[in-house]
Structure 1
Amino acid sequence: MPLSKFTCCPLAESQAKRERRKEARPGELLAAALDLFVEKGFAATRAEEVAARAGVSKGTLFLYFGSKEELFKAVVRENISGRFTEWEAELTTFTGTTSEMLAYAMRSWWERVGMTKASGITKLMMSEARNFPEIAEFYQQEVILPGHELIRRILQRGIERGEFRVLDLEHAVYSVIAPMIFMMMWKHSVGACAPASFEMHPELFINQQIELLLHGLTGAGQPVAPRA
């Protein structure tokens, strides 16, 4: 009797699953590494733990990534620095005002990085960069400098269009970055165990920061108090 078209060969099915598993391994390893780096930090995360969580051997991990440092770099590129290309493209074709562009950039950063597990990498770097200068330098080149340049371009656009007053761009960049870093640090430290009375609403916080950046604390035409 001929086999039904719905009958499958167990051996072939098992082989197909192994092939799919093999193809998926790099992504699974990166996901497992991100989980563990955020949970335990860079120093405390061991390669064999990453491999075990991904369901492969330690040897398989090193087929894809030559060291824990290279694995960490791949995690950063996959989850953070690899996004700069899309942000650059979006801002290049942005047709709204610079105020709208700045608001969009802050909100999209939170949606794509800040509210995800990848935001824990910021806390990791704040606590461990001094002990691992190689990954600190990598993070500086891959994330910090491109991020600063992106924000600088937005602010410069506003100045050139007459939408923003002339600013000290070197320091104004930090006024945009600081609230976002605060939110990520809060999310992965105090915020993780804060009582309900201390609950922070990220979207409301970001909206407030945008308002402060664009309009300040003083009323229209009210002078800023001089420094004592």
Structure 2
Amino acid sequence: MQKPLPSDSLTAPSVAPTKRERRKESRPGELLAAALDLFVEKGFAATRVEEVAARAGVSKGTLFLYFPSKDELFKAVVRENISGRFAEWNSDFEAFQGSTFDMLAYCMNSWWERMGATKAAGITKLVLSEAGNFPTIAAFYQQEVIEPGHTLIRRILQRGMDRAEFRQLDLDYAVFSVLAPMIFMTLTRHSQGVCLPDQMVLEPKRYIASQLDIILYGLGPKPMDPAGPFSPPDAA
């Protein structure tokens, strides 16, 4: 009588994905990485989909299987590298246990580490430069990046007001006190230093510390300063 086969012999062996299958699965990511490189290097108008496909090692037809137009490719790049991070950043907000002063410092420093210091920050310069010629792209960026970014910063500032750590602020404009320094850092990094005096190198941590000091204390003496609270000079 023939012995029964071991039970594991009756199970169909798992088949490892072939090299072709693995490449197909990774292709969207490869296309997005190539597109990010070229958009940052050349801008939106000057980047051609043929170049993106060639850099990713595929044909233009293959690119269009995943992204039907250059506009849709750009939107996917923004979602992959910027707007897709807001869920993570909002989770950080919900979990943060420290003071709002510390939260603001954490926000600005972590933004630089996760975004500003990466190639994706070049998208901000691209949008600022080309939004006037591509209103659809500008509207998309407004909805996907600007509005969620403003909302998150407003939540941080509102938290400080609610906890009596910050005075009452005009939030419509106070958000720009946080945004403007970060945009300046981005432009400086992607403009070959043209925004800085000759020979100056911007040190991110030192710059952020200086901006936080000004945001939190203004330009007058700090509350604990022996010189006393700031009072404006008499009008002439």
Contact 1:218 1:224 in 2 (8 A): no
Alpha-carbon distance in structure 2 between the residues aligned to 1:206 and 1:191: 17
Aligned to 1:115: 117
TM-score normalised to structure 2 length: 0.87
Counterpart mapping for 1:1-228 below 5 A: 16-191=18-193, 197-219=199-221, 220=223, 221-225=229-233
Quote the sequence identity (%).
67
1:38-78 CA deviation, whole Å, 9 max, x = no partner?
Answer: 00000000001000000011011000001000000000000
1:124-173: CA deviations, max 9, x gaps? 00100010000100000000010001000100110111000011111100
Q: Is the 8 A contact 1:155 1:169 kept in 2?
A: yes
- Please give the secondary structure, in 1, of the residue aligned with 2:185: helix
- Across the aligned residues of Structure 1 and Structure 2, the Cα RMSD in angstroms comes to 2.1
C-alpha separation in 2, matches of 1:23 and 1:100? 41
Count of residue pairs brought into register by the alignment: 216
Partner Cα separation in structure 2 for residue 18 and residue 225 of structure 1: 73
Give the gaps of 5 or more residues in structure 2.
1-14, 224-228
Separation (CA, whole Å) in 1 of partners of 2:235 and 2:60: 59
Q: Describe the superposition over 1:165-184 as per-residue Cα deviations: whole angstroms up to 9, x where unpaired.
A: 01111110001000000000
Query: How many angstroms apart in 2 are the aligned matches of 1:41 and 1:48?
Result: 15
Q: 1:193 to 1:93 in 2, by over 3 A?
A: closer
User: What runs of 5+ residues in structure 1 fail to find an aligned partner?
Assistant: 1-11
**Segments of 4+ moved more than 3 angstroms:** 192-196, 224-228
Alpha-carbon separation, structure 1, partners of 2:115 and 2:235? 37
Alpha-carbon distance in structure 2 between the residues aligned to 1:45 and 1:192: 23
